[in-house]
Structure 1
Amino acid sequence: MALELGTSSVSIEKTPDGRRLIVRHDVDTSVDTVWDVLTDTDCWSDWGPSVTTVETDTRYIDDGTAGRVRAAGVVWLPFEVTACAPYRWTWNVARLPATGHFAEERASGSVVGFEIPPLATGYAPVCARACQHVAAIARRREA
């Protein structure tokens, strides 16, 4: 069963990391452009409402990328990307499993989505907003 959260849909699904709350949003750009936005640390603060700054040695993440993010402009938290392969990546933040990020190809355009661990389901509205921001950034990159 899927619910609507603004212009994003929300469902509970099985992922490689177990059952998660999934937030999806249709994007009228290519899946590669969405993936580029999701993996580009220079724009995480543009699409992630809770991320204000990112520090890492590399602009584009890969499996094992580590660094730190400043959350809500207040606290620095270490992160490590635990899996990264087209078109899905996951990470631990402060050594805890955090949201998964993915892009899916569609017949017309693509989808951006987030996988939310069961104990963080209240984060769904933030992820829906992040999906909308990713879509807007992807559209600007293809313009």
Structure 2
Amino acid sequence: MTRGSDAARTRTGIERTPDGRRLVVARVVDAPASAAWDVLTDTRTWTEWGPSVSAVRGPDRIGPGATGEVRITGVGAWVPFEVTEYDEGAMRWTWAVARVPATGHRVDVLGDRRCRVAFEVPLLAAAYAPVCRRALRAIARLAERRA
């Protein structure tokens, strides 16, 4: 179970990432990094934690160069996605949605049973931060259940 308040566990700030300066929305999760990474890379869970994703067509698990389609919640349109960077060792992946560079996803190890899950949001898409905060709460629940 998640302990502590959302405000204490979730932080938003600008960081330098491999893709340049990004707004990073991150949350501490009481689960091993491997459990959080599993949630982020398993496309079957995306509809459980991604408020903007209502369905996914593609591989069950993403990897380098993975492609597929996501259905946008509320719109119903299917849009293509492509994993543009994938580093399992660093536990980080990025994607483009409809050929537009989108969020980066990463997991930072904090210990054996704690990690930090982060979304790297392009600065021009900063308004997406509340959606990321909501997603992080769901990811925490899913990862903690898997732990």
Give the letter for the 2:118 counterpart: G
1:97 lines up with 2:98 in the alignment? no
Identity of aligned residues (%): 49
- Unmatched segments (≥5 aa) in structure 2: 1-5
User: How many residue pairs were aligned?
Assistant: 138
Query: Alpha-carbon deviation of 1:6?
Result: 7.6
**Moved >2 Å (runs of 4+):** 4-7
CA distance in 1, matches of 2:115, 2:9: 14
Greater strand proportion: 1
Query: Alpha-carbon deviation of 1:7?
Result: 4.2
Give the letter for the 1:93 counterpart: V
TM score, norm. by length of structure 2: 0.90
1:32 lines up with 2:34 in the alignment? yes
The aligned residue for residue 56 of structure 2 is 54
Query: Alpha-carbon deviation of 1:26?
Result: 0.5
Q: CA RMSD in A?
A: 1.4
CA distances 1:92-131 after superposition (whole Å, capped 9, x unpaired): 0000000000001003500111000011000001001111
Map residues 1-143 of structure 1 onto 2, 5 A cutoff.
Answer: 7-56=9-58, 58-73=59-74, 74-86=76-88, 87-107=91-111, 108-142=113-147
CA distance in 2, matches of 1:7, 1:52: 26
